[in-house]
Amino acid sequence: ATHCEVTLLLPKSLRMKGEREAEHKGTREVGNVNPDTEITMQFEATEQDIGAPAPGSRVSIQLQIRYKRSNGQMMLRVFTADRDVTDDSSATLSSLSLAIIELNSLQASAALAVRGRFLDARKEGELQKKLIERAIKFNESKEENHTLGEWVKAMEPLYTNMHNFTRNKSVISDSQTLTDAGAALFFTIKHSNRKSISLAKNHQL
């Protein structure tokens, strides 16, 4: 499919994070897609007077996908999901999809790096890593612990080797630019999916 556009609609007690819009609606131009295309989005509680959703309540989230088929026909698919709000960390940790969180961390961190926001890219990865480690410890999962090792390897360009991909060989601010190789690598990671994470993991630095 081509001309793909994804819109996420949230209740006003939530807002988009990491998108151009910081409100309860976010739209992303995706372009060409195939069955392996995966994109992730983040949202958080709003800082406005509305306040965060109350524990015990339910929130409704809607995903709209617009795209053009090969015959030129424009399509719209709408998915709506209701989710319970909880302040029980045990319930949250036990229900997390670590594969999705790891993919989101890769995509979000790489997107920041492509825009030259290197310190924010590192911070994003570190925050997600803490959440992943906490979930693995809670669930006592050896399989997920192995997956974490692969994810950390894939994140090396953002964690420890980012200086190899900037024109200045130190990353102490967001005022530097990427080398051509760095831009190509982070652009690839930005558009990665769960199947292609191994490509970033095996990239020769």
Lowest-confidence range among 21-25, 51-55, 73-77, 201-205? Answer: 201-205
Rounded to the nearest 5°, which phi and psi values hold at 112? -65, -40
CA dihedral defined by 202, 203, 204, 205, rounded to 10 degrees? -120
Q: Any residues with CB less than 8 A from the CB of 85 and at least 6 apart, and which?
A: 53, 54, 55, 56, 57, 58, 59
Confidence label for 49 from pLDDT (cuts 50, 70 and 90): low
Residue 118: pLDDT over 70:
yes
Per-residue model confidence (pLDDT) at position 98: 87
190-204 confidence digits (pLDDT tens): 888 877 665 545 554
pLDDT in tens, 144-164: 666 777 777 777 777 666 666
12 has pLDDT over 80: yes
Give domain limits for the chain: 2-87, 92-201
One DSSP character per residue, 110-131 reads HHHHHTT-HHHHHHHHHHHHHH
Instruction: For residue 91, count other CB atoms closer than 10 A to its CB.
Output: 10
* Torsion of Cα atoms, 27 then 31 then 99 then 174, to 10°: -70
